[in-house]
A = this chain, B = another copy of it.
């Protein structure tokens, strides 16, 4: 194994000079830098990560804890993970993968053993048991999602309130007056991640603001429940022409239920969804939708983390503005 002393000897300098050439932490003459760089290349030198971590108390690794639980869309998680890795590499960091299953112990383990310098935690619940732990760690962290009481923890996520509002506004702009939102199962609004609640609020506020009528209807994630609900909605509100669906598994069933009731999409009823792009694109018809910008969330989360590692102040909350992509499921009334 090639070590720093080998490089130093080969370049005719001291080990510290090699170290400084690498870190750029002090000025080096052009000539010396050139020689050292050449030696490094020639010998194929790679600093030993462990030695470096020991001496500098920086591992240049960040932990990323991902959820397994169904309920979180797999493509979203993957997109998020890859963008975190890519962004981390831009800052010369690597990513250690943890599963939600490891929980607080896992986070404590990698933090206390100095395996990682910082942590990113995805799928944060409203009352997440990991929060007190993260607060107690001496290492910076970023949460994806907003817990009930974030305190001074750094959080980032799609602005779900704005997403709900954007969907209502989209329907309003198309001339719809009577709308409805088909939401997540009731229990999701009670515990879980809180974003569901925010969508309903944003939707309701925008409905009011644009002088439309319509409320929010939680719905179990089964095709039968969707069919029932759609039937009921149509019966009770004959003038209904626009629906926001925020309940991934029943996006398709809702459309099918409408057709079964003799309504065409989008000619008779327009549908907007908050769901992964993949789902929206492959639906029949392709759905106008707001997607979770997984790539951007991941990238930004890393930027926040790096700023914190550098001791820079960062905003406690970052809300990413939603983007509504119009597709074939919405039309003017």
Interface status of A114 (Cβ within 8 A of chain B): yes
Residues on B with C-beta less than 8 A from A66 are: 82
Of B96, B97, B115, which one neighbours A81 at CB under 8 angstroms? B97
In the complex the two chains form, what is the Cα distance from A115 to B47 in whole Å?
A: 10
Is there an interface contact between A114 and B61, defined as CB atoms closer than 8 Å?
no
In the complex the two chains form, what is the Cα distance from A69 to B1 in whole Å?
A: 34
Interface status of A78 (Cβ within 8 A of chain B): yes
Interface status of A99 (Cβ within 8 A of chain B): yes
Interface status of A134 (Cβ within 8 A of chain B): no
Is there an interface contact between A113 and B82, defined as CB atoms closer than 8 Å?
no
Stretch at the interface among A50-58, A164-172, A261-269: A50-58
- Copies of this chain held together in the complex: 2
| Minimum distance in angstroms from A7 CB to a CB of chain B | 13
Is there an interface contact between B86 and A99, defined as CB atoms closer than 8 Å?
yes
Residue of B nearest to A94 (CB): B96
Interface status of A12 (Cβ within 8 A of chain B): no
Of B44, B50, B74, B101, which one neighbours A86 at CB under 8 angstroms? B101
Interface flags, A43-73, vs B, CB<8A=1, else 0:
0101111111110000101001010100000
Count class of interface residues, chain A = 35 or more
Interface status of A102 (Cβ within 8 A of chain B): yes
Of B54, B94, B102, which one neighbours A51 at CB under 8 angstroms? B54
In the complex the two chains form, what is the Cα distance from A47 to B89 in whole Å?
A: 26
Is there an interface contact between B99 and A44, defined as CB atoms closer than 8 Å?
no
Of B44, B74, B97, B109, which one neighbours A75 at CB under 8 angstroms? B74
Is there an interface contact between B95 and A97, defined as CB atoms closer than 8 Å?
yes
Interface status of A233 (Cβ within 8 A of chain B): no
In the complex the two chains form, what is the Cα distance from A64 to B66 in whole Å?
A: 15
Interface status of A324 (Cβ within 8 A of chain B): no
21 A-B pairs, CB-CB below 8 angstroms?
A1-B114, A46-B109, A46-B113, A48-B54, A48-B114, A49-B50, A49-B59, A50-B52, A61-B96, A61-B115, A64-B97, A66-B82, A68-B82, A78-B78, A82-B99, A85-B97, A86-B99, A89-B102, A94-B96, A94-B115, A96-B97
Closest A-B pairs by Cβ, 9 of them = A50-B53, A46-B112, A50-B54, A49-B115, A49-B113, A50-B50, A97-B97, A46-B113, A95-B97
